[in-house]
Each structure stands twice: as C-alpha cells, then as structure tokens.
Structure 1
Amino acid sequence: QSFPWCPSSVPLEKAAKGKLQKQICQVVLDHFEKQYTAELGDAWSRVRDVLTSPWCWQHAVLLNRFSPSPGLESSLAGQGYHPAFPAALPYLPAAFRCYSRAAPGRFPAQKHQPGRLKEYYLLNAASLLPVLALEVKDGERVLDLCAAPGGKSVAVLQCACPGYFHCNEYDDLRSRWLEQTIESFIPDPVINLITVSKLDGRQIGDLQPEFYDKVLVDAPCSNDRSWLFSADPQRAVLRLMQRKELSCLQFQLLRSAVEALRPGGSLVYSTCTLSRAENSDVINLILSSCSNVVPVDISGMARGVSQEFTFLSGMQQHELLVLPEKGRAWGPMEENMPEHLSGVKQGCREDQKSRLLGRIF
C-alpha cells in the first residue's frame, strides 16, 4: 500500500519491510512469543504484527500552547489528522490539543534551536493517557519521577500550570535530554516553576515525604518496541536475563513515589511494556503492602478514548493496557492509578474519610 504524502513512489510497506524486517532481534521475538502468548492469548498475534512492522507505526502531534503556529492545525487537517481526544473527557483543558491520523507515518520533526520554542511534540498517543489520568490542576505540586526524555512533562504543562513542578531523571545522559526538551518547549516565566534534578528516584520519598499533590511514575521498563530491534544480539540476551530485576526497581520507585505523595494525593504508574510482571504484579504488590493506598477506577477514561485506543479486556478497573493494532498502532502502554490515603491511616475524622473515598468511587 502507498500513500500520497509519502515522498517515495515505492510502496511504503514493500520498501520499509525489506529494510527493517532484518533488524528484528530474533532472540527477543522468541522470548516475547513465549511470554506474551501465555499472558495475552490470541491478542498477542495481532500485537506482534504491529510491533514487528515499523512501517505501520503512527505518531501523534501534540501542539505546544506556549508557541502557537498560525496555519499548523489546518495543515494537519489537510494531511488527514484529526483531534486525538474527544470532548468525552470533561476534564480535558481547552489548551490541550493533540492530533493523530489512522494512516502510518510521521509529521516532520523540528530541530532544537536554543532560544526558540518548538511548536509541537511528536509522540505515541498512548503515552498521553497517564498525563490525562493524573488530572493536574493549576497550582498543584507535581512530581515526574522518571521524566526523560520529557514528553510527559511537556504534556503536563499543556494541561495546567503547577505551582511547583519537579522533573527528575537519574541517568546523566537522559537528564541532559530532559533539560533540552524543557528548554525547547517551555518559556522562561513557566520554566521558573520547574526544578530538574538527577536524584535516585528510590530516595525521593525519604527526601520529600508527603509533599506532592500528584506524582507520575513512568517507570524504566523492558521497552517492547525498542527491544525487538536491538542491534546487538548479545546485549539483547543480557537484557532478557536482567529483565526480572526491573520489577524490583519499579516497586522501589513506586514505593518512594507513594511516600512522596501527600494524604489524598493521586499517583499514576505507567510503562511501555506488555509484561505482567512489570505492570499488574508491581501494582498488586504495592496495594497489598501499603495499607494507605487504594486503587482508582479509570474505566470511565477508557470509555472516553475508546475510539482512539484498543485496550486489553479483563483488566482491573484501575488498570489500562493499550494494545497496538493496525490503524490504531498506539502502545504498548500500561497505566495504573492508586491514590494515597495516608490521612485515613493517620486517623482522620469519619467525614474526611468519606470525602476521600467518595472522590475515588
């Protein structure tokens, strides 16, 4: 199949397949085949077809409200893009504008230019769901615990203006990437509200206990899309051997995030892997080990965006797992939403307890 907006006259699938199919790392694919057939059943074959076919991947365009571009939206519409999130989400801010289309391909990227703001950010639309679920409000204290490369931090600032926004990234190289992203999208008056740090995320809960209204944990994970195209088979084998250690790190990060969350605050945990061990198992361990944390039903949000995304059925009400499929090749993205109720644990009044629980259910 070819598309009129593709610069090459050669059919896109044929050209890309010959070039990219060779890059698939067979040892990773074999590992995923065994694990995800067991965990996803029949859905895995459809997901596999998308993950191993980069020519059918899609990219959404998140507009930067701090650098509006005349004619950009009409240009997007002329190329088949449409607003990605419907009015069915009542809390979606008017300033939040994202466009997507069913056809594969990527809108031209903008280069970083010091002193000049970019007009849009290209991303997998599923990566916006954790930000939307967090429902950040103006003036709130917000922590993005594992913030690089910065797309979700940028998305948060399209939704609201936090009173204090802490963007943390432990890895030195990724932290510099995060700083460049923020510099590319956020103007000086707003950038003064942002603190970028390189702290060990496992320690932030001890350093800033019960400080934040909202916390996002976009945890380090076995990124299914990138791992499938590992260029070094030996490194891929090592990654797979170390994969089981990730869930331990994720639990430690999540526990630290819970400790950093104020009583009544909200937290979203997300990954870009299908792995049950890195998703449901981590959340279930937190819920069973932290009596001051309760899950939040986000099934309403799932219904509101069901035209854009395919979700795995049978998930708990506080979980969403986005499954990529052709025409809606977003994901994988796992999202969970617990809420911190340490005010209840500390012995708050019965009317306070009811108010907190009422907000959840």
Structure 2
Amino acid sequence: MMKLTARCKYKSGKKVCKTVLQHFDAQYSKELGEQWHSARDVLLNPHSWQYGVLLNRFSDLTNLKQGLTALGYRSLLPQVYPESQTHTAHFPLQCYIHRDPVHLPKQVHHPGWLKQYFLLNAASVLPVLTLDVKEGENVLDLCAAPGGKSLAILQMTTPGFCHCNEVDKHRYNWLVKTLESYVPATLQHLLSVTHLDGRSIGSERPGAYDKVLVDAPCSNDRSWLYTPDTHRLKERAQLPVLQKELLCSALTAVRPGGVVVYSTCTMSCAENQLVVEAVLASYPGVELLDLTQEFIDLLSDHFCFARLHLPVGQLVIPKKGKTWGPMYVSLLKRLY
C-alpha cells in the first residue's frame, strides 16, 4: 500500500465572478436567510473546503484504515444504522472525513490493480444512503458521471443490475474509466454503462428498475461562483425544465412501488424544491417520502441541514467546520 500523506488542498489562480456572487447574494439571502452568510463564507474560501475518502471494498485495504486514523481521519458513518430508515443493520459503506481541509493524493490507475479510495465531497453520499439499494435490486444511475455515486452504491451492496448512464460524451468516458479503476472484472457483468439521453430512458425501459438515482445537472454553486462566463446565469434559468424532464423519466423507469431519489449540488430552490413540487403536481401516482428525523440526527454531527421554507426534501449547506455540500436530496415513491 502507498504511504499516506495528507496535505492542505486549496484552489489557486481562480477568481470569484462578481456577477455570479451578486446573483447568489440576492437569491440566497431570500431563500436561506441568515444561513446564507455562513455558507457564503465557505464558498468564498476554498482553503476551508474539506474532502471525504470513500474506501473501495473491492481493493486491498490492508493498513489503509489505520493509516487514515493516524492522519486524524474518522468514519463519517456508524457501524450500525437506524432500522427505521433502512432494513440494513450493518453499514458497509466506508467514508472517512477529517476535521481540517486536508487532502490525500489521487491514486493513479494501473492495469490489474484497483484503486483503494475515491475522493469526494462527503455530502455526495447522502443521495446514495437515501436510495438505500438492497442486494439483488436493479438500479439506474441516470446522470452518473464522474461515477462517485455509482461507486458508492456498489460499496453498499451487490445489486442485481446497475445501469450507469451519462449523456455527455466527455463525462461518459470519465465514467467508464472510473468504473474500470474501482470495480473488479468479476462484477463487470452487473454493470451497463450507456451514453443515452436520460429523458428518453423512462419511455424506452418503463418499470425496469427497483430504484433510480437522478443526480441532475445543476448550477453547481461551488464551480459556478468561479466561472467568469456570466452567460451561465441564463443557462441556470433553463435548468429546471431539463431537471423536471429527467425526474419524470426516472419515475417512468422505476417500477410501481419503487423509489426515486432526486439530488443536486446547488442550493437553488428553483432547481430543488420547486422541481419536485412541479413533478408531484403533474405526475400522477407519486408520493413524497420524508427522511426520518433519526436519519437526519445521525448525520447532523457532520452536515449542516438548511431550514427550508418549503419542507420538500433536505438540503445540506456548508458552514465553518462543516464545509460539506451543497447537496439537496428528495425521496419519491411511485405508487402505481
């Protein structure tokens, strides 16, 4: 195993787009109130951003946990999980976090060797935990690139079938490389990696899946704040249309009685709560499910949950000492 060395990680050479920041100030002050101020401080200080380490159960993890512990990392999740949220008592998903903004080096892929860990924003595991895939279930990750959530699903269980889709060609290639670097050849037959428009998968494969994850394209607040192209603000206004279409496709693709998780990495109400509300109002036979308070309490030691004006889903927002997020998640059940 490689020698673990953690170092501070921060982005240099990037400047905040003042136009985007002014837009965020106007929107999020209204939507998040006082909580926007703490989130704003984190977003404007990449030096403070923290990074999670998702372990790969398919790789040789000899001494890795001990090495992470020696560096000050700790497990994000307990070994026992509340049964009120899931029937799975044991928690195989292993994600380690650090209280400081340290960063492990990325591992380079070598033929015949599987990477030991995947670096991610730890809040990214929230949609996967909410989806709660069980052994043998057929699952669709509708917008899967770069592959972290697909990988997290495979860390929790061995599905009957895992369909990973990505419409963007560059991101599709990224997704393929990720899965090749982490998943053993003996399990590759469980995977289908496609380059399709997610809006059409529901009509092409109605009722084919037990569970579907829609980690939708969104105006990623962390990256957009440092993007000088202000034309993206116009694109932001159009995103909810695409997001609704993807969510409707997912609800068609899931079987009656199955569940869909909708998630984004933005704090925007228009792309989160309002998208879910619009789909609930227009798509018959769909029920909004609440995440249990026990589930929220379990993660509140590490995540800061927003006090939403609209009680539709949950939103993790960054704050000092808990810089994870943004990550919005909503759980829907198809009744018939």
Using the size of structure 1 for normalisation, the TM-score is 0.87
* 1:78 counterpart (63, 70, 84): 70
SS of the residue aligned with 1:189? helix
SS of the residue aligned with 1:154? helix
Distance of aligned partners of 1:42 and 1:147 in 2 relative to their CA distance in 1, 3 Å threshold: same
SS of the residue aligned with 2:212? strand
* Distance (whole Å) between structure 1 residues aligned to residue 176 and residue 260 of structure 2: 23
* Distance (whole Å) between structure 2 residues aligned to residue 56 and residue 201 of structure 1: 35
Q: Does the 8 Å CA contact 1:92/1:132 hold for their aligned counterparts?
A: no
Structure 2 match to 1:33: 25
Structure 1 match to 2:232: 239
Question: Counterparts of 1:119-268 in structure 2 under 5 Å?
Answer: 119-230=116-227, 233=228, 236-268=229-261
Distance of aligned partners of 1:167 and 1:256 in 2 relative to their CA distance in 1, 3 Å threshold: same
CA shift digits 1:51-85 (9 cap, x unpaired): 11111000011110000321111111111111101
CA shift digits 1:135-162 (9 cap, x unpaired): 1011111000000000000000000111
* Distance (whole Å) between structure 2 residues aligned to residue 251 and residue 40 of structure 1: 23
Q: Confirm or deny that 1:305 pairs with 2:302.
A: no
* Distance (whole Å) between structure 2 residues aligned to residue 296 and residue 27 of structure 1: 37
Structure 2 match to 1:48: 40
Q: Does the 8 Å CA contact 1:140/1:162 hold for their aligned counterparts?
A: yes
CA shift digits 1:214-238 (9 cap, x unpaired): 00000000000011111xx2xx211
* Distance (whole Å) between structure 2 residues aligned to residue 160 and residue 88 of structure 1: 14
CA shift digits 1:193-247 (9 cap, x unpaired): 10000110000010000110000000000000011111xx2xx211001211100
* Structure ranking higher in helix proportion: 1
Q: Does the 8 Å CA contact 1:298/1:317 hold for their aligned counterparts?
A: no
Structure 2 match to 1:286: 279
CA shift digits 1:226-282 (9 cap, x unpaired): 11111xx2xx21100121110000000000000001000011000000000000000
Structure 1 match to 2:334: 340
CA shift digits 1:314-341 (9 cap, x unpaired): 4666511001011110000000001011
Q: Does the 8 Å CA contact 1:92/1:159 hold for their aligned counterparts?
A: no
Structure 2 match to 1:118: 115
SS of the residue aligned with 2:103? coil
Q: CA deviation at 1:92?
A: 6.0
SS of the residue aligned with 2:92? coil
Distance of aligned partners of 1:6 and 1:297 in 2 relative to their CA distance in 1, 3 Å threshold: closer
Larger relative contact order (Cα-Cα within 8 Å, sequence gap ≥ 6) = 2
Q: Does the 8 Å CA contact 1:146/1:220 hold for their aligned counterparts?
A: yes
Q: Confirm or deny that 1:321 pairs with 2:319.
A: no
Distance of aligned partners of 1:133 and 1:317 in 2 relative to their CA distance in 1, 3 Å threshold: farther
* Distance (whole Å) between structure 1 residues aligned to residue 279 and residue 77 of structure 2: 31
In structure 1, runs of 5+ residues without a counterpart are 343-361
Structure 2 match to 1:23: 15
* Distance (whole Å) between structure 2 residues aligned to residue 61 and residue 92 of structure 1: 22
SS of the residue aligned with 1:283? helix
SS of the residue aligned with 1:276? coil
Q: CA deviation at 1:117?
A: 0.5
* Distance (whole Å) between structure 1 residues aligned to residue 261 and residue 287 of structure 2: 12
Q: CA deviation at 1:113?
A: 2.3
Displacement over 2 Å in runs of 4+: 86-95, 112-115, 314-318
* Distance (whole Å) between structure 2 residues aligned to residue 316 and residue 34 of structure 1: 18
In structure 2, runs of 5+ residues without a counterpart are none
Q: CA deviation at 1:6?
A: 6.9
| CA RMSD in angstroms, aligned pairs only | 1.7
* Distance (whole Å) between structure 1 residues aligned to residue 165 and residue 151 of structure 2: 13
Q: CA deviation at 1:115?
A: 2.7
Distance of aligned partners of 1:164 and 1:249 in 2 relative to their CA distance in 1, 3 Å threshold: same
**Structure 1 stretch displaced more, 175-184 or 287-296:** 287-296
* 2:53 counterpart (45, 61, 66): 61
Identity of matched residues, %: 48
